[in-house]
Amino acid sequence: MLKLKHCAGLVAAACAFPSHAVMNIQPDPDNAGGYVIAAADVAAVAQAKTANPMYALWSQALATRSNTVVDAIFPRDASNPDNVKRVERVFPESEWDFLTQMAAPEYSYLRFLRAVGKFPAFCGEYTDGRNADAICKKSIITAFAHFSQETGGHIAKENLSDNPQALEEWQQALVHVREMGWSEGQLGYTTGCGQDDWQNRKWPCATGQGYFGRGAKQLSYHFNYGAFSEVMFDGDASVLLNNPGLVADSWLNLASAIWFFLTPQAPKPAMLHVIDRTWVPSQCEQDAGIGYGFGTTINVINGGIECGEQNKTKGQPVNRIRYWEGLAAHYQIPVPSDEKNTCWQQTPYGSLNLNGATDVLYTNWDGNWKYYADRPGGYSFECELVGFQTAYSALVPGDYQKCVTNFYGSHAGWPKVRIVSELAPLPTDPTTPPVGGVPAWEAAKVYNAGDKVSHQGVTYQAKWWTQGDEPSKGGPWASVPAS
C-alpha cells in the first residue's frame, strides 16, 4: 500500500481533520429506532478519511475504459489509446513473438494490447519528469518474469528433445491457459462456496462452475473472479462467476494479470507503484527489509511461500529471480543500486506486524465499533479503514455508503441507518421564553448527556444524546426541579 515518505507527514495530514466528523444524525420518521443521515455528510466523512493524496493515485491507477473502446483496439491502429501506442513502441509485436514462442494460442499480441487498453494507468503518462517509456518497458518485463514462473514451460535450454529451439526459460512464458490438471467442467477451488459470509453474499459461486487458476496470473477462487468481474463489467460480478472460462479464452486472460499488477491489497502495494516508485516504504516495511526492487514484487505475489530466510533457496523465488535477471539483461533494464531482486531478506507481508503503525494507509472499509458519547446510543454511524480484505473498498466510489448502511443493517440490536439525499426539517418548537436563563429547546439541535434546556416553562436535563425528542414527552429528558 502507498505511504507518505515521512511518518510525520501522515500524522500531520490526519490532524487536519477532527478525531471524528460532525454529522447531523436524526431519528428516522419512517423506522422506529432507526436514524437517517444526509448523503453529503456521509460523503464528507469518507472524503476526510481518504484525504491523503495517495488514495486518489490508487483510484486513478484502477480506472478503466469501456469494453467497447477495448474491442476496437488493433495492432498499429491510429485510433489506439495512448498507453497502447506506448506499448507498441517500447514492446512491438516482434518482441512479443520472441518471448512467446511456446505460448498457448489463446495468448496473442492483440489480446495483450486490449488488456493494456482496458487500464489507462498501465504504461500511462507521467507529468512529473519520470520516464514513462522506461517505466512501461520495466513493467512489461517484470510481468513476463512472473508469467514465466506462473505459466511457463520451465524446460532447460539444454533439453533439446523438449526444447529444440534451445529457448531460455525466460522465453517460455504463457504456455498454460488453465492450471495444470484442470479443465472446464471440473468444480475445483470451490472452498468456501455456499458459506454464510460476506464473501459469498457479495460474490456467490455459480452452480457447476470451478474457480481454478486461469489466465496469465492464474486467477483463482470465486472472490477473485467476482472482484475482477466487477472491474471488467461495470460492477457486475455475475459475468465471470457464471462463466469463469472467459478468463482463459478471451483477452481477459491477460487483463486479469494487469488488474493484479495495478491493485494494492493492503498492506501490500500495487506492483506498478513498486516499479515506478510512487510507493514509498513505511518505516515498518523498511525494518522488515522491504524496499524497492523485483524482490518486493515477489512478496506482493506470493510472499508467504517464497520470501523470508527459510525460502532463500526455494525453487519458485529462485526461478522468478533467474527469469527477471535474464530478461533485464536482455532488454537492458537499468537496476538502481537501492533495488534488490531477492526477497529472502524480507518479512512476508502476511507476517508483517503493523499494529501501531502511523505511516500506513489501508484500502478497505469495515464498521467502526468505537463508542461516541455525542451520538445516539454511542454508536459511531461510520466505517473505518482496516488492513484486511472486506466487502467494501476505499477505492470504489459508493462503497463507503454501502458499508455504513449494510453494516448497521446486519447487526441485531443495532439501529438501522438510511442515507437520504436531504434531511427533512425537524418540527419547530412553539418557543417559550427561557426559564431562569436556561436556553429554550431547539428541535434541530443535538444535545448530549447533561445539557439543560427549557421548554414550556419547565427546565429539563438530557440523560443521553438526543435530537428532535420533545422534552415534555420524557425519553432522553428528565425534568429538573425548580430551585
pLDDT above 60 for 361: yes
Q: How large is the average pLDDT for residues 34-57?
A: 92
What total number of domains does the chain contain? Answer: 3
The two beta strands, 466-467 and 383-386, are: unpaired
Residues 6+ apart with CB under 8 A from 191: 221
Q: Which residue has the higher pLDDT, 133 or 407?
A: 133
67 and 48 in a single domain? The answer is: no
Under the banding of pLDDT at 50, 70 and 90, the label for residue 317 is very high
pLDDT above 70 for 467: yes
Q: Which residue has the higher pLDDT, 360 or 351?
A: 351
What's the pLDDT at 15? Answer: 30
How far is Cα 31 from Cα 29, in angstroms, rounded to an integer? 6
433 and 463 in a single domain? The answer is: yes
143 and 219 in a single domain? The answer is: yes
How far is Cα 254 from Cα 74, in angstroms, rounded to an integer? 15
Dig out the grid coordinates for 54 from the structure: 495517495
Under the banding of pLDDT at 50, 70 and 90, the label for residue 103 is very high
Is 306 noted as a catalytic residue in this protein? no
pLDDT above 50 for 11: no
Domain boundary among 221, 249, 279: 279
What's the pLDDT at 62? Answer: 92
**Cis geometry, peptide bond prior to residue 267 (ω within 30 degrees of 0):** yes
* CA-closest candidate to residue 367, choices 235, 192, 198: 198
Residue 317 lies in a domain: no
Domain that holds residue 482: 426-483
Domain boundary among 374, 403, 420: 420
What's the pLDDT at 122? Answer: 98
Residue 310 lies in a domain: no
Q: What is the mean pLDDT of the chain?
A: 89
Residue 307 lies in a domain: no
Residue 248 lies in a domain: yes
pLDDT above 60 for 366: yes
Lowest mean pLDDT among 55-59, 124-128, 156-160: 55-59
Under the banding of pLDDT at 50, 70 and 90, the label for residue 7 is very low
Kind and range of the H or E element at 459?
Answer: strand 458-462
Residue 274 lies in a domain: yes
CATH number for 430 = 2.10.10.20
383 and 460 in a single domain? The answer is: no
pLDDT digits (tens, 9 = 90+) for 409-440: 777 778 889 999 988 776 655 555 677 788 88
Residue type at 46 in one-letter notation? A
pLDDT above 70 covers a percentage of the chain that reads 93
Residues 6+ apart with CB under 8 A from 343: 295, 296, 298, 299, 303, 306, 307, 308, 317
pLDDT above 90 covers a percentage of the chain that reads 63
| Beta carbons of 3 and 354 less than 8 angstroms apart | no
186 and 167 in a single domain? The answer is: yes
Residue 412 lies in a domain: yes
Q: How large is the average pLDDT for residues 169-193?
A: 91
What's the pLDDT at 191? Answer: 78
Domain boundary among 279, 311, 342: 279
How far is Cα 328 from Cα 255, in angstroms, rounded to an integer? 23
pLDDT above 70 for 95: yes
pTM comes to: 0.82
Q: How large is the average pLDDT for residues 267-296?
A: 94
| Beta carbons of 409 and 429 less than 8 angstroms apart | no
188 and 176 in a single domain? The answer is: yes
392 and 275 in a single domain? The answer is: no
* Active-site choice (88, 106, 150, 179): 150
pLDDT above 90 for 171: yes
What's the pLDDT at 4? Answer: 33
What's the pLDDT at 483? Answer: 65
Distances (CA, A) of 382 to 23, 45, 254, 306: 10, 8, 38, 38
pLDDT above 70 for 470: yes
Residue 259 lies in a domain: yes
CATH number for 156 = 1.10.530.10
pLDDT above 90 for 251: yes
What's the pLDDT at 20? Answer: 56
* CA-closest candidate to residue 298, choices 151, 170, 142: 142
176 and 234 in a single domain? The answer is: yes
Q: How large is the average pLDDT for residues 172-183?
A: 95
What's the pLDDT at 432? Answer: 59
275 and 154 in a single domain? The answer is: yes
479 and 371 in a single domain? The answer is: no
pLDDT above 50 for 5: no
83 and 215 in a single domain? The answer is: yes
Under the banding of pLDDT at 50, 70 and 90, the label for residue 197 is confident
Under the banding of pLDDT at 50, 70 and 90, the label for residue 13 is very low
pLDDT above 60 for 372: yes
pLDDT above 50 for 12: no
75 and 203 in a single domain? The answer is: yes
Q: Which residue has the higher pLDDT, 131 or 354?
A: 131
pLDDT above 90 for 259: yes
Residue 358 lies in a domain: no
Under the banding of pLDDT at 50, 70 and 90, the label for residue 355 is low
Q: Which residue has the higher pLDDT, 86 or 445?
A: 86
